[in-house]
Amino acid sequence: MTKTEKKSFHQSLAEWKLFIYNPSSGEFLGRTSKSW
């Protein structure tokens, strides 16, 4: 992505939600329960 391209607020929010909790991999804040 270049600097001229900007993601919409909705896209950014969806990515943050996926980072905080990813149900498909069971990750929380990018880490699995075993990595804590």
Given this model, what pLDDT does residue 2 score?
57
Rg (CA), the chain: 13
1-36 pLDDT, tens digit per residue, is 556 678 899 999 999 999 999 988 889 998 988 877
* pLDDT score, position 17: 93
Distance CA 26, CA 33 (A): 8
5 near 11, Cβ under 8 Å?
Answer: no
DSSP-derived letter for residue 33 is G
Q: What Cα–Cα distance (Å) separates residue 29 from each residue in 11, 24, 35? A: 18, 13, 11
- How many other C-beta atoms are found inside a 10 Å radius of the C-beta of residue 22? 14
